[in-house]
Structure 1
Amino acid sequence: MKAPKVARTVRPWRQALGAVAHRAGHRSEWLAAALLMLRGYQILGFRLKTRSGEIDILARRGKVLAVVEVKSRATLDQALTCLTTKQYERLLSAGRSLLRQRPSLAGHVLRIDMVALAPGRVPRHRRGVVPG
């Protein structure tokens, strides 16, 4: 027989920190989307959920479908180097899933991109990133 689930209470300070992080994440994604649009990308969606995971931004430019991961860290170097192999594989799987689900995207080439942000620095867009 399984033990009954115990309801966990969330401490108010932890909930407040989560809300701040959530807003900061949204701000970062909007900044990244603005940068991509300035570079000629069409934004197709934000925070798209798939069985493989969540895609921060889905963007298209020509026949390239970019699954964009947005990373915000204290420095640009930290942001640019924090994509793990596991995250990369998850993004690739999520992108492939979207390609299968949306017939309008047939014929597009899937690519994993990253937009790195850091306070006081110009955001950097990396195309075709690989984990490392």
Structure 2
Amino acid sequence: MSASRTPEQRRDADSRGREGEAQAAMFLVQQGWQVVAERVKTKAGEIDLIVRRTGLVAFVEVKWRARAASLADAIDERRLKRVAAAVEGVWQDYATNGEDIRIDVILLAPGRPPTHIENAWMPLG
């Protein structure tokens, strides 16, 4: 991790993150998903996208990197545990009809199609 960022660097990163989330949402809609929520904040952290299709609700972590080579390090167990903790607090609000739930990851980089990792983290219980 680098030294602390300037306010401008944080704004730029936030802007890139929002663009990546919008790109991921479009990709998922094209795959037949319905976006039901974006940037859901919980005590444990933020869930980038929540999407649904028949019988399934997916909580999606979106990672954007300027270089495709950096995507290999974009997601790790620590980050996925944080997402899982956030999902734990809200999944009941979205899987209201007995749908299965899962945590997915979308990896994005310029010049390459999105990579959709399904079931990136299997919730316990």
Q: Normalising by the residue count of structure 2, what TM-score does the alignment of the two structures yield? A: 0.82
Q: CA RMSD in A?
A: 2.2
1:85 aligns with 2:77: yes
The residue type equivalent to 1:87 in the other structure is R
**What is the CA-CA distance between 1:106 and the residue it aligns to?**
4.3
1:26 aligned residue (13, 18, 23): 18
Residues 115 and 123, structure 1, Cα contact 8 Å, conserved in 2: yes
Comparing 65-74 with 86-95, greater Cα deviation is found at 86-95
Q: How many residues align?
A: 118
SS in 2 for 1:60: strand
| Greater share of strand | 2
Structure 2: state its 5+ residue gaps: none
Alpha carbons of structure 1 residues 128 and 31: separation in structure 2 relative to 1, 3 Å:
same
Following superposition, the deviation at residue 107 of structure 1 comes to 1.0
Q: CA 1:92/1:104 → structure 2, altered by over 3 Å: closer, same or farther? A: closer
The SS at the match of 2:15 is helix
Percent identity between matched residues is 31
Within 5 A, what are the aligned runs for 1:34-49? 34-49=26-41
**Counterpart pick for 1:124 among 107, 115, 122:** 115
